[in-house]
Amino acid sequence: MTTGRAFTVEPWCLRELSLDLDTIAQSESVFALSNGHIGLRANLDEGEPHGLPGTYLNGVFELRPLPHAEAGYGYPESGQTVINVTNGKLIRLLVDDEPFDLRYGQLHEHERNLDFKDGVLRRNVTWTSPAGRTVKISSTRMVSFTQRAVAAICYEVEPVDGAARVVLQSELVTNEQLPDGSADPRAAAVLEAPLRPEHNGVSGERGAVLIHQTARSGLRVAAGMEHRITAPDDVNLHMTTESFDDLARTTVTTVLQPGQKLRLVKFLAYGWSAHRSVPALRDQVAAALAAARFTGWDGLLAEQRAYLDEFWRGAAVEIDGDTEIEQAIRFALFHVLQASARAEERAIPAKGLTGPGYDGHAFWDTEIFVLPLLTYSVPEAVAQALRWRYNLLPMARDRAQQLGLAGAVFPWRTIRGEECSGYWPAGTAAFHLGAGIAHAVVRYVKATDDRDFEREIGLELLVETARMWRSLGHHDTHGQFRIDGVTGPDEYSAIADNNVYTNLMARRNLFAAADCAERYPHEAGELGVTVEEMATWRDAAKAMTIPYDETLGVHPQSEGFTSHEQWDFEATGNRYPLMLHFPYFDIYRKQAVKQADLVLAMQTCGDAFTPEQKARNFAYYEAITTRDSSLSASTQAIVAAECGHLDLALDYLAEAALTDLDDLHSNTKDGLHMASLAGACLALVAGFGGLRDHEEGLSFAPRLPRGLSRIAFRMQVRGHHLRVEVTGEHATYTLDSGPRIPVLHHGEKLVLSAGEPVTRSIPAAPDNPVPTQPPGRAPRRRQ
């Protein structure tokens, strides 16, 4: 089944049946392959045409100056930008001396297929050259989950209608020319030729290696390739390999008869380091290639499949009634896995490794959107991601000191750990990031019971963020603890007092730090924590200011927010996103919301609001939220579901899930929106599943919209699998193994035992008036 869209609707893959050159950059993002360590955009094997060539290595960046029209104390002067490293995906083909280029000749078939179970990108092409020779080409590309330094491509070519002289050039190309940059602040800075050659050589089995170094960040990058070539026995092959500064090339030349197939398997390996020498990296890449060759192409495929079988066993999602959404959610899960699986003490960037958007930086949304999903599906990736934050602590302490604060201040946006935000009102001032990290620690420990992690990693993160909050806030004359002049999640407000999200999250952070220090008094003592300090954390948390507008009966997003002028949405027309059409000064001082802020507070700290407050707040903020941020829809879906707006919740879930597949923000070309993809999955689990992990423990409040007849999802809790199945009337909870666990079902306490499904009926949804959105900003109706 196909829709009017680019992709067919199928449950376990994403398939494109033809190539649209106008949207090629978008397709390069959605078909991108990654394991969190290496990322390959889905550039065509032959390199061109392309939207944006991209090969990324987690943590490889170049520095660039951050210019300021007017300088200020503490402004970062240097930014970090992800760079396109040596491209190993390239396999050029000549047919009778004509380069295979889709823009010439005749294209009969062009299909690409990202397989969520096999973890590979397949491509099938039938093409007639301008001279009239028809060939079939197929390729299968993978980035290995099991061998993290390795990618591989199997490329086959076969003439259809007559003998053809075929030349394959399998290459490593460094410093590819990139398209010009964009003025959109969300796009990346473009750096010309960021890699300086250090070493090149031919080696191994039809292999070569190129080693480069970045000029300013001093990172050394090695890329190696080796090949296995298969052809019918009677075919005469000529093969050469050569290497230069920015190019290594293995050339295979032959003549094929119709039906004869030339098959080239290309093993790719990358190594990079800020410290290791040229010989060390050369050997590291050679070793990775040796291991890959030993495993073999089929072996790599089998490992990949086994890895994904295990993943889906713990994270499977079924949705009856909307296959497109089911596909989109699986697409989302697959990409979130790709972004995080092997990130291993490096960042999970906002775009994963699918594109250079936001300069390849990681932000707060990793902890708030991506890690909650991973906590219940790939918990070990959460531990790794938080270890990365832990490793940043020395830098974060320095930054806190520079800002006059105690504890640690994590960077708003970064690759290596230094603050790279060039606009402090929406960067430095967004201190809520720290509480998001603390929140992720608490959630991970609760879900896994990983006490070693809590003691070794979690405690210090909690303590240092709590210290930051304690020094950032102060008590007023009435004894209330205030946090003034900060920016909450909503980027259409800035530098406000007592942002509710920030204060609630800070409160939880302070309590959690005190509780954790109490559990590990010895380790806390080593961090200098005293009982007096713990008392000041608890005191501040208890006295935390949470503004409330008694007249309207809603929480102002920040103090005074509800007194501000209403944004004139009627006059706005289609000038969205607002930030590209209106000045910040105007946006900040009016009631216009880019992304759910108070609504996010009601999700993450839902136990701080009554159901009536939630309903009123949700309706109030629905009317003024533009969803100009891709971080918005999933949160709105979750709270809409809780407030009984189930159809609306489905609309928002669909918006989050289709953000990239339908290119809703017109910038999927720069990479996928990882947080939105993760958020779509959360919208299912926390929205229609009603999952919460507040103080009272794991709770569910499942309810389906009219458009879905059944959903089922699996999650890992303390190493065991919990399956939740929801229909219109009932919910069934099944624990596969392990000790009994208590959960709440719509407030009713259940105790789940392994292998004993528990079914409960679903109470009627609360009946709140359907809220409205700003004119023209209602989500696309799902049905």
> Which positions touch its own copies (CB under 8 A)?
66-76, 79, 183, 185, 402-405, 421-426, 428-429, 473-474, 476-477, 482, 484-486, 494-495, 497, 551, 559-560, 563-566, 579-586, 588-590
Give the SS3 label for residue 590. strand
Spatial distance between the Cα atoms of 61 and 216, rounded to a whole number of angstroms = 9
Widest distance between CA atoms in the chain? 91
Residue number with CB closer to its own copies (26 or 557):
557
Does 365 count as an annotated binding residue?
Answer: yes
Alpha helices in 544-610 (DSSP H): 584-588, 598-604
Residue 289 or 587 with smaller CB distance to its own copies: 587
667-669-673 Cα angle (round to 5):
60
Phi first, then psi: what are they for 201, rounded to 5°? Answer: -170, 155
DSSP state of 558: S
Query: Cβ distance 46 to 29 under 8 Å?
Result: no
Q: Exposed/middle/buried for 404, CB within 10 Å: 0-12, 13-18, 19+?
A: exposed
The two structure tokens encoding residue 170: 């399998």
Beta carbon of residue 612, minimum distance to its own copies (angstroms, whole number): 21
Assess whether 491 carries a catalytic annotation. yes
Contact criterion met (CB below 8 Å) for 206 and 218: no
> Would you say 59 or 76 has its CB closer to its own copies?
76
Spatial strand order in the sheet of 262-273: 13-16, 106-115, 120-128, 134-143, 150-159, 262-273, 220-230, 207-214, 195-203
Q: Minimum distance between the CB of residue 589 and its own copies, rounded to whole angstroms? A: 2
Rounded to an integer, what is the distance from CA 335 to the centroid of its chain? 7
- Of the CA atoms within 13 Å of residue 334, those in its CB half-sphere come to 27
Buried b (16+ CB within 10 A) or exposed e, 541-559: bebbbebeeeeeebbbbbb
282/280 Cα distance (integer angstroms): 5
Q: Is the peptide bond before 49 cis (omega within 30 degrees of 0)?
A: yes
Any known ligand binding at 364?
yes
Q: Is 595 annotated as a binding residue?
A: yes
Q: Smallest gap, in angstroms, from Cβ of residue 564 to its own copies?
A: 5
C-alpha–C-alpha distance, residues 430 and 493, integer Å = 11
**Under 8 Å between Cβ of 22 and 663:** no
Distance CA 306, CA 313 (A): 11
Q: Is 557 annotated as a binding residue?
A: no
Q: Residue 205 burial (CB < 10 Å; 0-12/13-18/19+)?
A: middle
Are 317 and 726 in contact by the 8 Å Cβ rule? The answer is: no
Nearer to its own copies, 66 or 302 (CB): 66
Measured from the Cβ of residue 676, the count of other Cβ atoms closer than 10 Å reads 27
> Which one, 238 or 478, has the nearer CB to its own copies?
478
**How big is the CA angle at 399 (ends 518 and 392), to the nearest 5 degrees?**
65
Dist. CA 286–CA 271, nearest whole Å: 10
CA distances from 23 to 31, 322, 676 (A): 12, 25, 20
User: How far is C-alpha 640 from the chain's CA centre?
Assistant: 23
Q: How far apart are CA 435 and CA 417, in angstroms?
A: 17
Is omega for the bond preceding 577 within 30 degrees of 0, making it cis?
Answer: yes
Tokens of residue 566, six digits: 């209403």
Dist. CA 365–CA 691, nearest whole Å: 19
- Judge whether 501 and 597 are in contact, CB under 8 Å: yes
**What is the Cα–Cα distance from 411 to 639, expressed in whole angstroms?**
29
Q: What is the side-by-side strand order in the sheet with 758-761?
A: 317-320, 710-717, 720-727, 730-735, 758-761
**Which CB sits closer to its own copies, 482 or 714?**
482
Q: Which residues, including other chains, have CB under 8 Å from residue 446's CB and lie 6 or more apart?
A: 693
Strands 220-230 and 164-173: unpaired
Catalytic-labelled residue, pool 326, 491, 622, 642: 491
Tokens of 172: 């490593």
Binding residues for substrate: 364-365, 594-595
Residue ranges of the binding site: 364-365, 594-595
Q: Which residues are catalytic, by number?
A: 491
